Chain A
Amino acid sequence: DQQVKQNSPSLSVQEGRISILNCDYTNSMFDYFLWYKKYPAEGPTFLISISSIKDKNEDGRFTVFLNKSAKHLSLHIVPSQPGDSAVYFCAASGQGGSEKLVFGKGMKLTVNP
């Protein structure tokens, strides 16, 4: 029973272009959403988060959009850089914080020079 779904396993984009990573969730009690980035042989690194009271949060090249009615969020990376190549995990929590995060299975982003 996947409560957080990242349906595309991979994405390949050209350097300088926009990368859009999508995530869907099924649990309407989720109210806090995060994106993590993971390089091989390392642990996930926190990237950006959004609470359900917002529909957009921006941090430099990274923007997360939340559509509560569709139970959908997306991560936009503009402009994409080769160093952004990694696996990206979407995660959600129903307790307003990081406790008991539910993760998607990740999506591999490749940014080609």
Chain B
Amino acid sequence: DTAVSQTPKYLVTQMGNDKSIKCEQNLGHDTMYWYKQDSKKFLKIMFSYNNKELIINETVPNRFSPKSPDKAHLNLHINSLELGDSAVYFCASSHNRDTALHFGNGTRLTVT
């Protein structure tokens, strides 16, 4: 009964490929997020959705496209993968925008 689950856990792919990471939460939260943890270990927000609407889009290349089919899911699609995209991507959710985030266990993306 994982609260925030993301798949896959590991993703190894070649430059130029397109890949997706899926995220689902069963907490009934209405806000979901994607964070990126880079090689320097900083966690940085990429996107935030509230009730399926995009509310935060940080300076992320437009090769990254989030999609929220419903408020329990927020998927991340990445086109034309580059070496610099290698990182751990965390999905998170919260009950409205004012409460603590619940994170998934991360997806380690390696681009070769």
A interface list, Cβ under 8 A from B: 2, 34, 36, 41-46, 49, 89, 91, 95-101, 103-106
Contacts and interface: CB of A to CB of B under 8 A. Distances in A.
A112 to B, nearest CB: 23
Contact of A46 (B43, B55, B100, B105): B100
Contacts, number: 57
Interface of B: 4, 31, 40-45, 48, 55-56, 90, 92, 94, 96-106
A42 B37 CA distance: 13
Contacts of A101: 43, 45, 101
B43 A103 contact: yes
A46 B56 contact: no
Contacts of A36: 103
Contacts of B31: 99
Nearest to B108: A41
Given A43-B106, A101-B45, A96 B98 contact: yes
Contacts of A89: 43
Contact of A98 (B44, B90, B98, B106): B98
Closest 10 CB pairs of A and B: A43-B103, A97-B98, A46-B100, A103-B43, A99-B97, A105-B41, A43-B105, A44-B103, A42-B105, A43-B104
Given A96-B98, A99-B56, 16 more contacts: A41-B106, A43-B92, A43-B105, A43-B106, A44-B103, A91-B43, A95-B97, A98-B94, A98-B97, A98-B100, A99-B31, A100-B45, A101-B45, A103-B42, A104-B42, A105-B42
